[in-house]
Structure 1
Amino acid sequence: MSEPATEQPLKGYTVGITAERKAGDLEALLTRRGASVLRGAAMHTVPLPEDGELSAATAAVLAAPVDFVVVTTGTGFRGWLEAADSSGAGARLLEHLRPARLLARGAKARGAIRGAGLAVEWSAPSEESTEVLHHLLQHDLEGKRVVVQVHGNPMLEFQQALREAGAEVVPVTVYRWTDPLDLDALDRLIGAIVAGEIDALPFTSAPAAANLLDRAERIGKGASLREAMRSRVLLACVGPVTAAPIAEVGLPYSMPERARTAALVRLLAEELPARGR
């Protein structure tokens, strides 16, 4: 049985999806509210074990005692531990991290730490990296080793602030981003945005937002894409980190109070009908 119209506030609207990993969940939430969906993943996630880089980072962590560990994402932290397990270093890594003070960026990171049998000293209430950095800088970091689990975004300013405070920073990058596997799908989405066929674009990651803009430049549609996004499309970002590439080019965007995919979809369901066409 179809849902009543009042429960399908997005009926008649078309939403573009640039996500890769969360595309299925996002599409299900949107279609349940009546939206039509056009997918065009804007990036592809490559686990670094495939490149051999993560094992080198793990070896650097194991080379000396660790004072602080910053866990930014649950997926990234679990991926790191799984990669260490596959190389035979999993148990040693867990024991090496156990005496450290583990800080979580949010609920999913906190859950991953606890799921590994480790203790969480502190978790950022806002689930933002800036709050984690502020908390860390309240400590005397001179000579301390700080492991930062990075997920795609290299967090260069975060790392530099810690180094300026005297810390030795050991970044652990679990994934890197590349162009999507299906560039044609992304190009079709860009074309649909420019043609006025897309009403909203929800973004769940900064790399997807950045690569959408970059790909449009590479195919000669950068200016027309930005104009369409500025004048006709509701841009919604799950959080300020995701919004950074959008903000950098001066595009307006909305953001839910909580950095959750479901909250992002609720925001679209509220704002799109209110905007009209």
Structure 2
Amino acid sequence: MNNFTGSERYIASQELRLAVNAAITLERPLLVKGEPGTGKTMLAEEIAASLGMPLVQWHIKSTTRAQQGLYEYDAVSRLRDSQLGDDRVHEIRNYIKPGKLWEAFTAEQRSVLLIDEIDKADIEFPNDLLVELDRMEFHVYETGETIKAQQRPVVIITSNNEKELPDAFLRRCFFHYIQFPDADTLKAIVDVHFASIETDLVSDALRIFFQVREVPGLKKPPSTSELIDWLKLLVSDRLAANVLKEGGIREALPPLYGALLKNEQDVQLLERLAFMSRR
């Protein structure tokens, strides 16, 4: 199998490429952490595309249970069908709904399994998947069968660090933290998203963007995805783009700041900074 080297659409650092390939070689899940908007979810998509594998995505919510990733048994439907005299009731498999791990384990070719934002779930959620991810198999009690991976999937697990993950789970993963991109890397990412964009506009936008991120006490610093959204607006609004040349955030809020700042506390913080600087 070829190594992951990034793609035209995804700028991966050398450290990230090494982490992906190390996890694949060790056949361990790759746990990826980093600020929201640093491309953790997109990483799994690009690994699948780069290596020519199907992608199985399991997006975790606060209500998600580990069992749902294996399978769910719909006892209520079976009871209802038995009351209605439906012949389906005699075959219990009719009421077993395969989950995302089942789908990845039984795929015809090796797949990439994304378990996205695992830290959103209950604290016991990672531990409840330890054995299944370790052995790459699980038992279906209702039918007595064992679902075993035909080909071990490449497992990518993302976390936004909303809560600590159990030590036993961490021991079974290869870990990588995606650092926030520096100016040169961000420029390369911008070039991927904009086929032709004025160099001066990118320079001005990056200058203001990093000024905003460096403000002490900011509740949510803008991310890479928010920079891309902001640039899209600036490209379509010359007047706003020209304002960037006139100064920095100590003079006024950035034009179209709603693409960068996502809560009123941060807006007020920058407003106070500009007000104090003008006094």
Asked if TM exceeds 0.5, the reply is no
Q: Bin the TM-score by the shorter chain.
A: 0.3 to 0.5
Structure 1 length as normaliser, TM-score? 0.32
Q: Which has the larger radius of gyration?
A: 2
Structure 2 length as normaliser, TM-score? 0.32
